[in-house]
Copies of this chain bind each other. A is one copy, B any other.
Amino acid sequence: MVRPVTAGTRGASIRDVARAAGVSISTVSRVVNGTAPVAPATRERVEAAIEALGYRPSAIARQLASRSSGTVGLLVPHLSDPACAMVAEGVEAAARARKLSVILCQTGSCGEAEHLVRLAELRVAGVVVVASEPDGEEPRDGCYRTLAGEVPLVLAGTGAGAVRVDEREAGYLAAGHLLELGHEKLAFLGGSAGSTVVRRRLEGIERALREAGMEYGSTLHLPGGSGFEDGRAAFGRLARREDRPTGLVCVSDLLAAGVLRAAAEMDLGVPEDLSVVGIDDVSLSRCFSPPLTTVARPLRELGRLAVEELVALMAGSEPGTCELKPELVVRGSTGPPDGREEG
């Protein structure tokens, strides 16, 4: 068995290759990087030497000499949150396509400050910050303070981010769908009342209401978290009301799952007695019973675009903004309010 070498016995360096090929190190550098033309014969000798010695250029030395690390930082709350994981997936894929390496940092269980310091020392070319969905608000002063003016940074996913989802549209789509089915009383469940994302979703809902000629300006909002238990709790509170809405828009799919469960526990049929629509379209929402109708947020794409924006920033562009359109995905958790179409 080959013992892994920890250090010292490191592989061949550019100098070894140069010596073996009988050329100077610059020539080796040139054939490796294609920086300048090299005579076919010389190139072959060099390539042979590289092959023979198993030479692998040191990215570290490269970074030092060229003062540019081909790496970016990725700050994400928790990978265990499916929505975050999705964005991260998009970021990694896009970065790879751009030949950038990504350094993964989870900020959920620690101050992001320490990560930021490390990233700064690593001289990352840029940073993508994924906001904790759907709460994350405010331009993350912490980030800006530490890195602003040092490194391009793009905030993704939050209402204030450079790359975000059109949250008004998300609310509009969800409410529009419910209204079209005939629901007249709607409610929005979960999310912190003050957050930009929630505010925009409510605006979208009210626009739908207005367009449908319904009363508006006071959509019922039961604020709270965005998890499964928050959904159960929210529905518990809702169910007690005399004028229980029949069309529910949830701040996230996870919360919607909690609502589904609570409804089942109270023997309320979905969608016969109650229609529920989530927001996100995480991969498991089709696994719920009934499969969840939801407004899909293009999370992977969001990650991809965050990298594109970052690359633009690194190239010197002025900061821009882009807003992705969400899409309605109709599955089984929504139907007419009286269950008239029940099979």
Can you name the residue of chain B whose Cβ is closest to the Cβ of A109?
Answer: B93
Q: Return chain B residues, CB-CB under 8 Å to A11.
A: 150
Complex CA gap A287/B8 in Å reads 52
Residues of B within 8 A of A3 (CB): 149
Q: Which of A20-28, A97-105, A134-142, A198-206 contacts B (4 or more CB under 8 A)?
A: A97-105
B287 touches A228 (CB 8 A): yes
Per-position 1/0 for A74-92, Cβ under 8 A of B: 1000111010011011001
Q: A122 contacts B106, CB within 8 Å?
A: no
Which of B2, B106, B288 makes the CB contact (< 8 A) with A149?
Answer: B2
Q: Is the CB of B92 within 8 A of A86?
A: no
From residue A177, how far is it (CB to closest CB) to chain B in Å?
Answer: 22
Interface size of A as a range: 35 or more
Q: Oligomeric state, in number of copies?
A: 2
Pair A101/B79 contact, Cβ less than 8 Å: no
Task: Say if the beta carbon of A314 comes within 8 Å of chain B.
Answer: yes
- The answer on a CB contact under 8 Å between B121 and A93 is no
CA distance A156 to B64 in the complex (A): 33
Structural contact, B85 and A7, CB atoms closer than 8 A: no
Residues of B contacting A6 with CB < 8 Å?
Answer: 152, 314-316
Q: Does A10 contact B (CB under 8 A)?
A: yes
Contact call B58/A121, Cβ cutoff below 8 A: yes
Query: Which has the most chain B C-beta neighbours within 10 Å: A59, A60, A109, A254?
Result: A60
CB of A332, distance to nearest CB on chain B (Å): 10
| Residue A118 lies at the interface, judged by CB distance under 8 Å to chain B | yes
Interface pair A79/B103, CB less than 8 Å apart: no
Chain B residues closer than 8 Å to A105, beta-carbon distance: 92, 96
User: Are A85 and B80 in contact (CB-based, < 8 A)?
Assistant: yes
Contact in complex: A2, B288 (CB < 8 Å): no
Contact B287 A257 (CB under 8 A): yes
Q: A103–B71 Cα gap in the complex (Å)?
A: 9
Cα distance A120–B57 when bound, in Å?
9
Most buried by B among A10, A93, A282: A93
Shortest Cβ distance from A55 into chain B, in angstroms? 11
- Which of A2, A89, A102 counts the most chain B CB atoms within 10 A? A89
The answer to whether the Cβ of A123 comes within 8 Å of any Cβ in the partner chain is yes
Q: CA separation between A110 and B94, bound complex, in Å? A: 12
Q: Does A56 contact B (CB under 8 A)?
A: yes
12 contacts between A and B (CB under 8 A): A4-B150, A4-B153, A11-B150, A57-B121, A58-B123, A60-B64, A60-B123, A74-B104, A78-B89, A88-B104, A92-B106, A228-B286
Closest 7 CB pairs of A and B: A2-B149, A257-B287, A289-B289, A59-B121, A104-B104, A79-B89, A85-B85
